[in-house]
Chains A and B, each alone.
Chain A
Protein backbone atom coordinates (compact mmCIF):
# COMPACT_ATOMS: atom_id res chain seq x y z
CA UNK A 1 0.00 0.00 0.00
CA UNK A 2 2.69 2.40 1.10
CA UNK A 3 5.05 1.56 -1.75
CA UNK A 4 2.18 1.92 -4.20
CA UNK A 5 1.42 5.42 -2.89
CA UNK A 6 5.08 6.38 -3.15
CA UNK A 7 5.21 5.11 -6.73
CA UNK A 8 2.09 7.09 -7.62
CA UNK A 9 3.70 10.17 -6.07
CA UNK A 10 6.90 9.69 -8.09
CA UNK A 11 4.82 9.26 -11.25
CA UNK A 12 2.90 12.47 -10.50
CA UNK A 13 6.13 14.39 -9.93
CA UNK A 14 7.57 13.09 -13.23
CA UNK A 15 4.44 14.00 -15.19
CA UNK A 16 4.34 17.48 -13.62
CA UNK A 17 8.03 17.94 -14.41
CA UNK A 18 7.50 16.91 -18.07
CA UNK A 19 4.50 19.24 -18.39
CA UNK A 20 6.54 22.08 -16.90
CA UNK A 21 9.28 21.32 -19.42
CA UNK A 22 6.84 21.59 -22.29
CA UNK A 23 5.55 24.86 -20.84
CA UNK A 24 8.91 26.52 -20.05
CA UNK A 25 10.91 25.23 -23.00
CA UNK A 26 14.43 23.95 -23.43
CA UNK A 27 16.28 27.27 -22.92
CA UNK A 28 15.84 27.30 -19.17
CA UNK A 29 14.76 23.75 -18.39
CA UNK A 30 15.46 20.09 -19.04
CA UNK A 31 13.08 17.17 -19.26
CA UNK A 32 13.20 14.32 -16.71
CA UNK A 33 14.73 11.91 -19.24
CA UNK A 34 17.47 14.37 -20.21
CA UNK A 35 18.21 15.14 -16.57
CA UNK A 36 18.56 11.48 -15.66
CA UNK A 37 20.85 10.99 -18.64
CA UNK A 38 22.94 14.01 -17.64
CA UNK A 39 23.12 12.76 -14.07
CA UNK A 40 24.38 9.40 -15.33
CA UNK A 41 27.02 11.14 -17.45
CA UNK A 42 28.03 13.19 -14.42
CA UNK A 43 28.35 10.10 -12.24
CA UNK A 44 30.50 8.36 -14.86
CA UNK A 45 32.83 11.39 -15.16
CA UNK A 46 36.08 10.72 -13.24
CA UNK A 47 36.42 14.45 -12.47
CA UNK A 48 33.06 14.43 -10.67
CA UNK A 49 33.82 11.83 -8.00
CA UNK A 50 36.43 13.90 -6.08
CA UNK A 51 33.77 16.58 -5.59
CA UNK A 52 31.31 14.01 -4.26
CA UNK A 53 33.96 12.62 -1.92
CA UNK A 54 34.82 16.12 -0.69
CA UNK A 55 31.18 16.95 -0.01
CA UNK A 56 30.50 13.64 1.68
CA UNK A 57 33.58 13.97 3.87
CA UNK A 58 32.62 17.52 4.91
CA UNK A 59 29.07 16.39 5.56
CA UNK A 60 30.14 13.32 7.57
CA UNK A 61 32.43 15.42 9.77
CA UNK A 62 29.78 18.11 10.24
CA UNK A 63 27.15 15.54 11.12
CA UNK A 64 29.42 13.75 13.62
CA UNK A 65 30.21 17.07 15.31
CA UNK A 66 26.56 18.13 15.30
CA UNK A 67 25.55 14.81 16.89
CA UNK A 68 28.25 14.91 19.56
CA UNK A 69 27.70 18.55 20.58
CA UNK A 70 23.93 18.49 20.09
CA UNK A 71 23.43 15.38 22.22
CA UNK A 72 25.78 16.71 24.94
CA UNK A 73 23.91 20.02 25.14
CA UNK A 74 20.49 18.40 24.97
CA UNK A 75 21.12 15.70 27.55
CA UNK A 76 22.88 18.07 29.99
CA UNK A 77 20.16 20.70 29.76
CA UNK A 78 17.37 18.13 29.80
CA UNK A 79 18.58 16.67 33.08
CA UNK A 80 17.96 19.90 34.99
CA UNK A 81 14.53 21.54 34.93
CA UNK A 82 15.85 25.06 35.44
CA UNK A 83 18.64 24.74 32.87
CA UNK A 84 16.13 23.46 30.32
CA UNK A 85 13.71 26.31 31.03
CA UNK A 86 16.49 28.88 30.67
CA UNK A 87 18.06 27.42 27.54
CA UNK A 88 15.12 26.22 25.46
CA UNK A 89 13.91 29.65 24.26
CA UNK A 90 17.50 30.54 23.36
CA UNK A 91 17.82 27.34 21.32
CA UNK A 92 14.46 27.92 19.61
CA UNK A 93 15.50 31.49 18.78
CA UNK A 94 18.77 30.17 17.32
CA UNK A 95 16.74 27.71 15.25
CA UNK A 96 14.63 30.48 13.71
CA UNK A 97 17.40 32.88 12.68
CA UNK A 98 18.70 32.78 9.11
CA UNK A 99 22.02 31.10 9.83
CA UNK A 100 23.40 32.02 6.46
CA UNK A 101 23.99 35.54 7.83
CA UNK A 102 26.46 33.98 10.29
CA UNK A 103 28.51 32.46 7.49
CA UNK A 104 30.85 35.47 7.05
CA UNK A 105 31.75 35.16 10.75
CA UNK A 106 32.59 31.49 10.26
CA UNK A 107 34.67 32.28 7.21
CA UNK A 108 36.58 34.93 9.18
CA UNK A 109 37.19 32.51 12.04
CA UNK A 110 38.07 29.37 10.05
CA UNK A 111 39.22 30.76 6.74
CA UNK A 112 38.07 29.46 3.37
CA UNK A 113 38.16 25.70 3.02
CA UNK A 114 37.09 22.48 4.66
CA UNK A 115 36.87 23.62 8.33
CA UNK A 116 34.47 26.47 7.46
CA UNK A 117 32.16 24.13 5.56
CA UNK A 118 32.20 21.60 8.38
CA UNK A 119 31.54 24.26 11.02
CA UNK A 120 28.70 25.79 9.02
CA UNK A 121 27.08 22.39 8.47
CA UNK A 122 27.49 21.52 12.13
CA UNK A 123 25.81 24.70 13.47
CA UNK A 124 22.78 23.87 11.35
CA UNK A 125 22.53 20.43 12.92
CA UNK A 126 23.44 21.16 16.55
CA UNK A 127 20.34 23.21 17.37
CA UNK A 128 17.58 20.79 16.32
CA UNK A 129 19.43 17.78 17.74
CA UNK A 130 19.84 19.50 21.10
CA UNK A 131 16.22 20.75 21.20
CA UNK A 132 14.86 17.26 20.54
CA UNK A 133 17.28 15.61 23.00
CA UNK A 134 16.43 18.19 25.67
CA UNK A 135 12.72 17.46 25.35
CA UNK A 136 13.30 13.71 25.13
CA UNK A 137 15.12 13.67 28.47
CA UNK A 138 12.80 16.18 30.14
CA UNK A 139 9.63 14.34 29.12
CA UNK A 140 10.66 10.93 30.43
CA UNK A 141 7.88 9.72 32.69
CA UNK A 142 9.17 10.31 36.27
CA UNK A 143 7.62 6.98 37.32
CA UNK A 144 10.24 5.16 35.23
CA UNK A 145 13.05 6.94 37.05
CA UNK A 146 11.47 6.28 40.46
CA UNK A 147 11.11 2.60 39.56
CA UNK A 148 14.81 2.55 38.79
CA UNK A 149 15.55 4.02 42.22
CA UNK A 150 13.28 1.53 43.96
CA UNK A 151 15.06 -1.33 42.18
CA UNK A 152 18.38 0.23 43.27
CA UNK A 153 19.78 0.25 39.76
CA UNK A 154 23.29 1.60 39.45
CA UNK A 155 23.51 4.90 37.46
CA UNK A 156 24.95 2.97 34.52
CA UNK A 157 22.21 0.35 34.59
CA UNK A 158 19.55 3.05 34.97
CA UNK A 159 20.93 4.86 31.93
CA UNK A 160 21.09 1.68 29.86
CA UNK A 161 17.79 0.13 30.90
CA UNK A 162 15.61 3.20 31.43
CA UNK A 163 16.96 6.53 30.19
CA UNK A 164 18.18 5.48 26.76
CA UNK A 165 15.19 3.33 25.74
CA UNK A 166 12.73 5.98 26.96
CA UNK A 167 14.43 8.93 25.28
CA UNK A 168 15.69 7.22 22.11
CA UNK A 169 12.65 7.66 19.81
CA UNK A 170 12.58 11.45 20.26
CA UNK A 171 16.35 11.64 19.99
CA UNK A 172 16.25 9.75 16.68
CA UNK A 173 13.62 12.19 15.40
CA UNK A 174 16.00 15.01 16.31
CA UNK A 175 18.88 13.26 14.59
CA UNK A 176 16.76 12.87 11.45
CA UNK A 177 15.92 16.59 11.40
CA UNK A 178 19.55 17.39 12.23
CA UNK A 179 20.76 15.16 9.39
CA UNK A 180 18.72 17.05 6.82
CA UNK A 181 19.71 20.48 8.14
CA UNK A 182 23.40 19.56 8.37
CA UNK A 183 23.29 18.47 4.73
CA UNK A 184 21.66 21.75 3.74
CA UNK A 185 24.19 23.70 5.82
CA UNK A 186 27.18 21.88 4.34
CA UNK A 187 25.94 22.46 0.79
CA UNK A 188 25.24 26.13 1.53
CA UNK A 189 28.74 26.40 2.94
CA UNK A 190 30.11 25.02 -0.30
CA UNK A 191 28.13 27.45 -2.39
CA UNK A 192 30.34 30.33 -1.27
CA UNK A 193 33.99 30.31 -0.53
CA UNK A 194 34.79 26.75 -1.63
CA UNK A 195 36.88 25.36 -4.46
CA UNK A 196 35.50 21.81 -4.38
CA UNK A 197 32.31 19.99 -3.58
CA UNK A 198 28.81 19.68 -4.94
CA UNK A 199 27.69 23.10 -3.70
CA UNK A 200 30.64 24.67 -5.50
CA UNK A 201 29.75 22.81 -8.71
CA UNK A 202 26.19 24.04 -8.40
CA UNK A 203 27.31 27.68 -8.06
CA UNK A 204 29.74 27.25 -10.95
CA UNK A 205 27.01 25.79 -13.14
CA UNK A 206 24.78 28.74 -12.23
CA UNK A 207 27.35 31.39 -13.19
CA UNK A 208 28.00 29.53 -16.45
CA UNK A 209 24.29 29.13 -17.07
CA UNK A 210 24.86 25.40 -17.53
CA UNK A 211 21.32 24.06 -17.25
CA UNK A 212 22.37 20.43 -17.81
CA UNK A 213 24.60 20.45 -14.74
CA UNK A 214 22.26 22.51 -12.56
CA UNK A 215 19.36 20.13 -13.01
CA UNK A 216 21.42 16.93 -12.87
CA UNK A 217 23.11 18.06 -9.62
CA UNK A 218 19.83 19.16 -8.09
CA UNK A 219 18.29 15.79 -8.96
CA UNK A 220 21.19 13.84 -7.43
CA UNK A 221 21.09 15.92 -4.23
CA UNK A 222 17.34 15.64 -3.84
CA UNK A 223 17.36 11.88 -4.45
CA UNK A 224 20.18 11.40 -1.93
CA UNK A 225 18.47 13.52 0.75
CA UNK A 226 15.10 11.87 0.18
CA UNK A 227 16.58 8.34 0.27
CA UNK A 228 18.48 8.82 3.54
CA UNK A 229 15.55 10.63 5.08
CA UNK A 230 13.30 7.72 4.08
CA UNK A 231 15.60 5.26 5.85
CA UNK A 232 15.79 7.39 9.00
CA UNK A 233 12.04 7.91 8.90
CA UNK A 234 11.47 4.15 8.83
CA UNK A 235 13.76 3.74 11.85
CA UNK A 236 12.00 6.64 13.54
CA UNK A 237 8.54 5.09 13.05
CA UNK A 238 9.74 1.73 14.29
CA UNK A 239 11.16 3.19 17.51
CA UNK A 240 8.05 5.26 18.14
CA UNK A 241 5.77 2.27 17.65
CA UNK A 242 7.77 0.18 20.12
CA UNK A 243 7.14 2.54 23.04
Chain B
Protein backbone atom coordinates (compact mmCIF):
# COMPACT_ATOMS: atom_id res chain seq x y z
CA UNK B 1 0.00 0.00 0.00
CA UNK B 2 1.16 3.55 -0.69
CA UNK B 3 2.36 5.81 2.07
CA UNK B 4 -0.69 8.05 1.72
CA UNK B 5 -3.03 5.05 1.94
CA UNK B 6 -1.28 3.81 5.07
CA UNK B 7 -1.46 7.24 6.68
CA UNK B 8 -5.15 7.41 5.83
CA UNK B 9 -5.79 4.11 7.60
CA UNK B 10 -3.82 5.28 10.63
CA UNK B 11 -5.83 8.52 10.79
CA UNK B 12 -9.20 6.76 10.52
CA UNK B 13 -8.22 4.10 13.08
CA UNK B 14 -6.88 6.84 15.35
CA UNK B 15 -10.15 8.79 15.12
CA UNK B 16 -12.17 5.68 15.99
CA UNK B 17 -9.88 4.92 18.95
CA UNK B 18 -10.08 8.53 20.16
CA UNK B 19 -13.88 8.41 20.02
CA UNK B 20 -13.86 5.09 21.88
CA UNK B 21 -11.61 6.55 24.57
CA UNK B 22 -13.64 9.75 24.96
CA UNK B 23 -16.84 7.79 25.45
CA UNK B 24 -15.32 5.14 27.76
CA UNK B 25 -13.92 7.90 30.00
CA UNK B 26 -17.33 9.65 29.94
CA UNK B 27 -15.97 12.84 28.37
CA UNK B 28 -18.67 12.37 25.72
CA UNK B 29 -21.91 11.13 27.28
CA UNK B 30 -23.09 7.65 26.30
CA UNK B 31 -26.53 9.09 25.71
CA UNK B 32 -25.15 11.03 22.75
CA UNK B 33 -23.00 8.43 21.08
CA UNK B 34 -22.02 4.85 21.81
CA UNK B 35 -18.43 3.55 21.48
CA UNK B 36 -17.46 2.36 17.98
CA UNK B 37 -16.76 -1.12 19.31
CA UNK B 38 -20.35 -1.39 20.54
CA UNK B 39 -21.64 -0.13 17.18
CA UNK B 40 -19.78 -3.00 15.50
CA UNK B 41 -21.04 -5.64 17.95
CA UNK B 42 -24.61 -4.28 17.75
CA UNK B 43 -24.44 -4.35 13.96
CA UNK B 44 -23.16 -7.94 13.99
CA UNK B 45 -25.99 -8.97 16.32
CA UNK B 46 -28.64 -7.27 14.17
CA UNK B 47 -27.31 -8.73 10.94
CA UNK B 48 -27.21 -12.21 12.52
CA UNK B 49 -30.77 -11.90 13.82
CA UNK B 50 -32.08 -11.08 10.33
CA UNK B 51 -34.40 -8.41 11.73
CA UNK B 52 -33.59 -5.83 9.08
CA UNK B 53 -33.09 -8.23 6.17
CA UNK B 54 -36.32 -7.08 4.51
CA UNK B 55 -35.41 -3.41 4.93
CA UNK B 56 -31.97 -3.97 3.40
CA UNK B 57 -33.53 -5.82 0.48
CA UNK B 58 -36.11 -3.06 -0.05
CA UNK B 59 -33.53 -0.27 0.03
CA UNK B 60 -31.14 -2.11 -2.28
CA UNK B 61 -33.96 -2.90 -4.72
CA UNK B 62 -35.09 0.74 -4.76
CA UNK B 63 -31.55 2.01 -5.23
CA UNK B 64 -31.02 -0.51 -8.02
CA UNK B 65 -34.22 0.56 -9.72
CA UNK B 66 -33.26 4.25 -9.46
CA UNK B 67 -29.80 3.56 -10.90
CA UNK B 68 -31.17 1.45 -13.76
CA UNK B 69 -33.79 4.06 -14.69
CA UNK B 70 -31.23 6.88 -14.46
CA UNK B 71 -28.78 5.00 -16.69
CA UNK B 72 -31.36 4.11 -19.35
CA UNK B 73 -32.98 7.55 -19.45
CA UNK B 74 -29.68 9.42 -18.97
CA UNK B 75 -27.69 7.66 -21.68
CA UNK B 76 -30.70 7.71 -24.01
CA UNK B 77 -31.41 11.43 -23.53
CA UNK B 78 -27.70 12.25 -23.66
CA UNK B 79 -27.32 10.44 -26.99
CA UNK B 80 -30.36 12.17 -28.47
CA UNK B 81 -29.44 15.63 -27.14
CA UNK B 82 -25.91 15.39 -28.46
CA UNK B 83 -27.37 15.25 -31.98
CA UNK B 84 -29.90 18.05 -31.33
CA UNK B 85 -27.82 21.18 -30.83
CA UNK B 86 -30.79 23.57 -30.57
CA UNK B 87 -32.56 21.53 -27.88
CA UNK B 88 -29.31 21.20 -26.00
CA UNK B 89 -28.71 24.96 -26.02
CA UNK B 90 -32.21 25.60 -24.69
CA UNK B 91 -31.75 23.00 -21.93
CA UNK B 92 -28.30 24.28 -20.95
CA UNK B 93 -29.56 26.61 -18.15
CA UNK B 94 -31.45 23.63 -16.71
CA UNK B 95 -28.26 21.55 -16.68
CA UNK B 96 -26.43 24.35 -14.89
CA UNK B 97 -29.07 24.89 -12.19
CA UNK B 98 -30.30 21.31 -11.83
CA UNK B 99 -28.26 20.42 -8.77
CA UNK B 100 -29.15 23.70 -7.08
CA UNK B 101 -32.78 22.59 -6.91
CA UNK B 102 -33.58 21.10 -3.50
CA UNK B 103 -34.91 17.77 -4.80
CA UNK B 104 -36.28 16.72 -1.42
CA UNK B 105 -38.72 19.62 -1.68
CA UNK B 106 -40.50 17.55 -4.33
CA UNK B 107 -40.83 14.60 -1.99
CA UNK B 108 -44.14 15.69 -0.38
CA UNK B 109 -45.53 16.22 -3.86
CA UNK B 110 -44.36 12.77 -5.00
CA UNK B 111 -45.92 11.14 -1.94
CA UNK B 112 -49.24 12.81 -2.63
CA UNK B 113 -49.11 11.79 -6.29
CA UNK B 114 -47.77 8.22 -5.94
CA UNK B 115 -48.85 7.34 -2.40
CA UNK B 116 -46.71 5.91 0.36
CA UNK B 117 -45.20 3.03 -1.60
CA UNK B 118 -41.67 2.58 -2.88
CA UNK B 119 -42.15 4.78 -5.94
CA UNK B 120 -41.57 8.23 -4.33
CA UNK B 121 -38.18 7.10 -2.94
CA UNK B 122 -37.15 5.63 -6.28
CA UNK B 123 -38.22 8.89 -7.96
CA UNK B 124 -36.02 11.02 -5.68
CA UNK B 125 -33.03 8.72 -6.28
CA UNK B 126 -33.70 8.80 -10.02
CA UNK B 127 -34.09 12.59 -10.12
CA UNK B 128 -30.79 13.09 -8.28
CA UNK B 129 -28.93 10.56 -10.42
CA UNK B 130 -30.21 11.15 -13.94
CA UNK B 131 -28.63 14.55 -14.59
CA UNK B 132 -25.12 13.29 -13.72
CA UNK B 133 -25.57 10.55 -16.33
CA UNK B 134 -26.87 12.96 -18.98
CA UNK B 135 -24.03 15.44 -18.45
CA UNK B 136 -21.31 12.78 -18.50
CA UNK B 137 -22.82 11.06 -21.54
CA UNK B 138 -22.84 14.37 -23.43
CA UNK B 139 -19.30 15.07 -22.28
CA UNK B 140 -18.10 11.69 -23.57
CA UNK B 141 -19.97 11.86 -26.88
CA UNK B 142 -18.55 15.32 -27.54
CA UNK B 143 -15.05 13.83 -27.54
CA UNK B 144 -15.53 11.14 -30.18
CA UNK B 145 -12.83 11.85 -32.79
CA UNK B 146 -14.06 13.00 -36.20
CA UNK B 147 -11.99 10.38 -37.97
CA UNK B 148 -13.93 7.53 -36.33
CA UNK B 149 -17.21 9.05 -37.47
CA UNK B 150 -15.84 9.45 -40.97
CA UNK B 151 -14.82 5.80 -40.94
CA UNK B 152 -18.38 4.93 -39.94
CA UNK B 153 -19.72 6.95 -42.86
CA UNK B 154 -17.31 5.24 -45.26
CA UNK B 155 -18.67 1.92 -44.07
CA UNK B 156 -22.21 3.26 -44.57
CA UNK B 157 -23.19 2.47 -40.99
CA UNK B 158 -26.67 3.54 -39.93
CA UNK B 159 -27.06 6.16 -37.17
CA UNK B 160 -28.06 3.49 -34.66
CA UNK B 161 -25.13 1.24 -35.58
CA UNK B 162 -22.73 4.19 -35.35
CA UNK B 163 -24.07 4.97 -31.91
CA UNK B 164 -23.82 1.38 -30.70
CA UNK B 165 -20.51 0.52 -32.34
CA UNK B 166 -18.55 3.79 -32.15
CA UNK B 167 -20.03 6.68 -30.19
CA UNK B 168 -21.13 4.89 -27.03
CA UNK B 169 -18.07 2.59 -26.72
CA UNK B 170 -15.79 5.60 -27.15
CA UNK B 171 -17.72 7.55 -24.52
CA UNK B 172 -17.80 4.56 -22.15
CA UNK B 173 -15.24 5.88 -19.61
CA UNK B 174 -17.22 9.12 -19.27
CA UNK B 175 -20.47 7.22 -18.99
CA UNK B 176 -18.83 5.12 -16.28
CA UNK B 177 -18.08 8.33 -14.36
CA UNK B 178 -21.78 9.16 -14.72
CA UNK B 179 -22.62 5.67 -13.47
CA UNK B 180 -20.43 6.09 -10.38
CA UNK B 181 -22.17 9.38 -9.56
CA UNK B 182 -25.57 7.83 -10.26
CA UNK B 183 -24.83 5.09 -7.72
CA UNK B 184 -23.79 7.60 -5.04
CA UNK B 185 -26.74 9.93 -5.73
CA UNK B 186 -29.26 7.08 -5.81
CA UNK B 187 -28.14 5.92 -2.38
CA UNK B 188 -28.34 9.50 -1.07
CA UNK B 189 -31.77 10.07 -2.64
CA UNK B 190 -33.41 6.79 -1.66
CA UNK B 191 -32.10 6.61 1.91
CA UNK B 192 -32.78 10.31 2.48
CA UNK B 193 -36.34 9.94 1.24
CA UNK B 194 -36.89 6.85 3.40
CA UNK B 195 -35.66 8.85 6.34
CA UNK B 196 -38.12 11.71 5.75
CA UNK B 197 -41.24 9.54 5.48
CA UNK B 198 -41.76 5.99 4.35
CA UNK B 199 -42.98 2.67 5.69
CA UNK B 200 -39.84 0.55 5.27
CA UNK B 201 -36.18 0.57 4.28
CA UNK B 202 -32.91 1.25 6.10
CA UNK B 203 -33.48 5.01 6.26
CA UNK B 204 -36.89 4.40 7.80
CA UNK B 205 -35.40 2.02 10.40
CA UNK B 206 -32.82 4.65 11.39
CA UNK B 207 -35.45 7.33 11.96
CA UNK B 208 -37.64 4.77 13.77
CA UNK B 209 -34.75 3.84 16.08
CA UNK B 210 -34.03 7.53 16.68
CA UNK B 211 -37.63 8.25 17.61
CA UNK B 212 -37.57 5.32 20.06
CA UNK B 213 -34.27 6.39 21.66
CA UNK B 214 -32.82 3.04 20.59
CA UNK B 215 -29.25 4.29 20.27
CA UNK B 216 -27.64 0.87 19.81
CA UNK B 217 -29.84 0.02 16.87
CA UNK B 218 -29.56 3.51 15.39
CA UNK B 219 -25.76 3.66 15.47
CA UNK B 220 -25.47 0.11 14.18
CA UNK B 221 -27.68 1.02 11.21
CA UNK B 222 -25.82 4.28 10.54
CA UNK B 223 -22.56 2.31 10.56
CA UNK B 224 -24.14 -0.19 8.19
CA UNK B 225 -25.17 2.50 5.70
CA UNK B 226 -21.73 4.13 5.80
CA UNK B 227 -19.92 0.80 5.30
CA UNK B 228 -22.32 -0.24 2.53
CA UNK B 229 -21.96 3.00 0.56
CA UNK B 230 -18.20 3.18 1.02
CA UNK B 231 -17.75 -0.46 -0.05
CA UNK B 232 -19.88 0.03 -3.16
CA UNK B 233 -18.11 3.26 -4.14
CA UNK B 234 -14.65 1.83 -3.56
CA UNK B 235 -15.43 -1.34 -5.55
CA UNK B 236 -16.61 0.82 -8.45
CA UNK B 237 -13.42 2.85 -8.22
CA UNK B 238 -11.30 -0.33 -8.38
CA UNK B 239 -13.39 -1.70 -11.22
CA UNK B 240 -12.99 1.55 -13.16
CA UNK B 241 -9.20 1.42 -12.75
CA UNK B 242 -9.23 -2.17 -13.96
CA UNK B 243 -11.30 -1.25 -17.03
CA UNK B 244 -9.11 1.74 -17.83
CA UNK B 245 -5.95 -0.36 -17.55
CA UNK B 246 -7.37 -2.89 -20.00
CA UNK B 247 -8.38 -0.14 -22.39
CA UNK B 248 -4.93 1.37 -22.49
CA UNK B 249 -3.28 -1.89 -23.55
Q: Which residues of A approach B to under 8 Å, CB–CB?
A: 2, 5-6, 8-9, 12, 24, 28-29, 82, 85-87, 89-90, 93, 95-105, 107-109, 177, 179-180, 183-184, 187-188, 191-192, 202-203, 205-206, 209, 211, 214-215, 217-218, 221-222, 225-226, 228-230, 233
Cα(A211)–Cα(B4), bound, Å? 52
A118→B207 CA distance, assembly (Å): 20
Select one of A28, A102, A203 contacting B112, CB under 8 A.
A28
A9 touches B90 (CB 8 A): yes
Q: With A93-B230, A100-B188 given, can you name 5 additional A-B contacts, CB distance below 8 Å?
A: A28-B112, A96-B188, A101-B191, A192-B196, A218-B109
Within 8 A of A (CB), among B69-117: 89-94, 96-97, 99-109, 111-113
Of B91, B188, B218, most buried by chain A (CB within 10 Å of CB) is B188
A-B contact pairs, 8 of them (CB 8 A): A5-B90, A82-B4, A86-B4, A97-B226, A97-B230, A98-B188, A100-B196, A108-B31
Tell whether B229 is near chain A: CB-to-CB under 8 Å. Answer: yes
Query: Measured between C-beta atoms, what is the minimum distance from A232 to chain B in Å?
Result: 9
Cα(A28)–Cα(B109), bound, Å: 8
Beyond A86-B4, A97-B226, whether A211 also contacts B112 by CB under 8 A is yes
Q: Does B187 contact A (CB under 8 A)?
A: yes
For B99, B102, B104, B234, the residue with the greatest tally of chain A CB atoms inside 10 Å of its CB is B102
Report the bound CA distance from A209 to B113 in whole Å: 11
Q: Does B23 contact A (CB under 8 A)?
A: no
A214 to B105, CA, bound (A): 8
Answer whether residue B1 sits at the interface, using C-beta atoms and an 8 A cutoff: no
Closest A residue by C-beta to B213? A108
Give B122 Cβ to nearest chain A Cβ, in Å: 15
Interchain CB contact under 8 A, B225 and A98: yes
Cross-chain contact B109 with A191 (CB below 8 angstroms) = no
- Please tell me if the beta carbons of B191 and A108 are within 8 angstroms of each other in the complex: no
Docked-complex contact B92 and A5, CB < 8 angstroms: yes
Does residue B210 face the partner (Cβ distance < 8 Å to A)? yes
B36, CB-defined interface residue at 8 Å:
no
Q: Mark B100-138, 1 if CB is under 8 A from A, else 0.
A: 111111111101110000000000000000000000000
Q: How far is the CA of A28 from the CA of B4 in the complex (A)?
A: 54
Given A28-B113, A90-B12, A108-B32, check contact A225 B101 (CB 8 Å). yes
